[in-house]
Each structure stands twice: as C-alpha cells, then as structure tokens.
Amino acid sequence: MSTESTPLQSSAVINEAVQTLRDGGLVAFPTETVYGLGADAKNPEAIKKVFASKGRPSTHPLIVHVAAPDKFDQDQIDWVSVLAPWARDISESALKLIAAFWPGPLTLVFNKDKSVPSEATGGQDTVAIRAPAHPMTQDLLRKFKGGIVGPSANRFGKVSPTSASDVRNEFEGMLDLMVLDGGDCEVGIESTIIDLSSGDKPVLLRPGAITPSEILAKTGIQVYQPGEIKKTEEEAALPRVSGSLRAHYAPTTPLRLYAPGRVLDALSEFPDIKSRVAVAVWDSESSLVLEDHPSIDVEEVIVSSDSAAFASRLYRSLRDLDQQAWDLILFPEPPAGEEWDGVRDRLQRACFGSGPSSSSHASS
C-alpha cells in the first residue's frame, strides 16, 4: 500500500513530502478541486513517472501548481515574481484574474519560459499554471519552494479522486507513493482553464466552478468561447490542456444521460439491461415510479439540484455507483446555464468513455 497520512498533517509529514519531491518521487496531494499526483515540475524524469503511473499520453500537458506568497494583503502580493520561473508575457489581464481568483480553482495558460521542461507541457510552447487554495498543499508548495505538476491522482481517463482513500484505491500497488490526506475536496471538479497565451482575448478552454460571467463581474474581463475567436492561418491552434479529450472522468459501468421527464424512455432504450440500473434523480423532483418498468431492477439515487453541491459530489457518486455492480447508471442532463457547464462537460466526457472498454476510449 502507499504511504498513508492523517487529515491533520504534522510539519514532519509535510517535510517528508517535500523531500520525496526533491528526490524525484511522487506525492499525491489534496486541492479544493480534486487530488493531484504530484512531481517536481522542473524534473523531467519525475514528470515521466507521473505519466507512466497514470498511463497518460505524454502529449497531454500537465498543470503546474505554485504557492501563493504567505501574505494577508492580496494587493501586496508580487505575483509576477511567482510566475517568472514559468511564464512569459504576463499581461495586466492575467494579474487581474490572479488577484481576483488565486489561490483558487482557476488555471491560466501562458507562453512558457524556456526553462520549463517540455515533458510538463506535452511538447507545447505554453504552460498551464494555478495556485491551489487547499492550505495543506499551499504549505507543501511554500516549503518545497518550487512548482509541482499535478494531474488528477487516478488512472488516465477514469473518475477523478476527491479523497485520499480514492487515491489509495487507484494506486494500491505503488508502494513508494506518498499520499497526503487533506479530507474531501470541496469544489469536486477540476479547475476552470483560461488561455492567455494568444493575445488580448482570454479563451475558455475548460469550464469549471469559476464561470465567464463571474470573471466579468469581478474583473471586467470578457472571456471568449473557442468558437468566438477567429484565427488567421498563421496563428497556432488553441493549446492542448488537461481534461480536453472526448473521453475522460469515466466509470467502468456504462453511464448515460436522460432528458428532463424522459427517464422511462431512457430505460426503454436499453432492453438488454436485464437486472440492475441506478437512476440519479433531482432532489427537487417527486419520487419517480420506476418500479413499473418491466424486467429491470431500478434504484433511485438522489442528487442535488444546486450546481455547486452537485459538482462537489459528482465524482464521489460516480465512484460509489461504479463499485456497486450496476449494469447501467443514468444521470439527468444538467440544466442550461453557465453554472452547470462544468459538470455538463464532465458528464458528457464520462458518458463517452464509460463502459468496460473505457480504457480504450481514453485516447480517442
């Protein structure tokens, strides 16, 4: 089993994690979004261990996690010096976004400094950076005095981990993996990713808890959707980022979405499912009469109609259901609205990648 730790981390445990990273080892760490599988972001060999452990394609870039300076006055934080070892072309818009949302679940994509290993960026000239809000990982980053790459601490393409026990279950055979236990993740889905590398128009590359509307309200910065930006033939395509493959976050059990009020129709589309189906239903709806469906054993699972609460429990629910030997999992389609875009994105990718052959979908 991997090295365990308790939720209340002692300074000695953090120091051990720092030394593990300096020695080129891997440390799983908590963030407010999901748990990350961490390595020294300036150590190419350590970064390769992350890809090998996850079974992740080497062209799929990682996010570099950095420490927020230990100051109480956000206005006095020198973020430029924090970013300088990693990024070039740090704009005023970038500093506005950082001042409003860091530490927190927002990742920014910059043109990379030449010292950043290509292994961390998937061979691209851009680098994705964020400052996680979890106090344990901030402590780890400050003591490490460097950046830590940290994709989700799970096998590639599978459901992301939101607890230390999830990580241990994923990497049960990795005896040398140190797992820091910071409790359950609050946000529950991966960070919002904004591309700042290609000019004065920030582009949303991955939706998350922080929405374009919230960014506009807090900073006055308009974030564009990829399709809203017209690129000349000379300009490069948008950078690749974590979580952008069509199949991702996927349970082994087949997962499908159903339209509002159409759960019985969804069930009837799967006549070969002859035994057990888990159906997630909104807590705001009355109990559905599913037992009338012939030859199918159906069980309701209540999910929150609040977008933030739904997100915080999404991966926990998928992991738990995946371990209960259902033949099919049905989830309701999330409502329209930016606040639901993050979970809609995760569910759509999870559906595409789900099923017993999901590992073969991950590279699609």
Mark whether 298 and 184 lie in a shared domain.
no
- pLDDT of amino acid 315: 97
With a cut of 80, say whether residue 243 has pLDDT above it.
Answer: no
pLDDT of residue 337: 95
In this predicted structure, the answer to whether residue 5 has a pLDDT above a threshold of 60 is no
Task: Tally the domains of the chain.
Answer: 2
Are residues 166 and 217 located together in one domain of the fold? yes
Are 220 and 333 members of one domain? no
Q: What is the DSSP letter of 116?
A: S
pLDDT range class, residue 362, cuts 50, 70, 90: very low
For residue 2, the model assigns a pLDDT of 45
- Averaged pLDDT, 150-156: 94
Is residue 238 included in any domain, yes or no?
no
Asked if the structure places residue 88 within a domain, the reply is yes
The mean of the pLDDT values for the chain is 88
Both 19 and 70 in one domain: the answer is yes
Give domain status of residue 5, yes or no. Answer: no
Task: Give the separation between CA 89 and CA 110, rounded to whole angstroms.
Answer: 7
Q: pLDDT (tens digit, 9 = 90+) per residue, 159-196?
A: 999 999 999 999 998 878 999 999 999 999 999 999 99
Tell me the residue ranges of DSSP E strands in 186-336. Answer: 192-195, 203-206, 255-258, 276-282, 297-303, 328-332
- Per-residue confidence at 229, pLDDT binned at 50, 70, 90? confident
213 & 307 share domain: no
Helix (H) or strand (E) holding 81: helix 79-83
- Residues 312, 303: Cα–Cα separation, whole Å: 11
Based on the fold, state whether residues 263 and 129 are members of the same structural domain: no
**Of the ranges 10-19, 77-86, 93-102, 265-274, which one carries the lowest mean pLDDT score?**
265-274
Q: Mean pLDDT, to the nearest integer, of 234-239?
A: 62
**pLDDT tops 60 at residue 239:** yes
174 and 299 in a single domain? The answer is no
170 and 99 assigned to the same domain: yes
d(CA 136, CA 82): 19
Tell me the average pLDDT across 217-233. 82
* Model pLDDT, residue 342: 97
- For the record, the structure tokens of 120 come out as 């961390």
CA-nearest of 104, 134, 130 to 7 is: 134
Among the residue ranges 148-152, 215-219, 243-247, 336-340, the one predicted with the least confidence is 243-247
Give pLDDT, residue 293.
59
Average pLDDT value for residue range 48-56: 95
pLDDT in tens, 9-38: 578 999 999 999 999 999 999 999 999 999
Q: Which domain holds residue 75?
A: 11-228
Q: What is the pLDDT of residue 173?
A: 84
Domain boundary among 228, 246, 264: 228
Confidence band (pLDDT; 50, 70, 90) for 100?
very high
Average pLDDT, integer, range 243-270 = 83
Contact 331, 303 (CB under 8 A): yes
**Are 60 and 162 in the same domain?**
yes
Question: Is 336 within a domain?
Answer: yes
Residue 50 and residue 132 share a domain = yes
**Distance (Å, whole) CA 163 – CA 160:** 9
244 with 253: CB under 8 angstroms?
no
- Model confidence at 263: pLDDT above 90: no
Same domain, 34 and 142: yes
Question: Is 271 found in the same domain as 219?
Answer: no
Is 96 among the domain residues? Answer: yes
Higher pLDDT: 156 or 39? It is 39
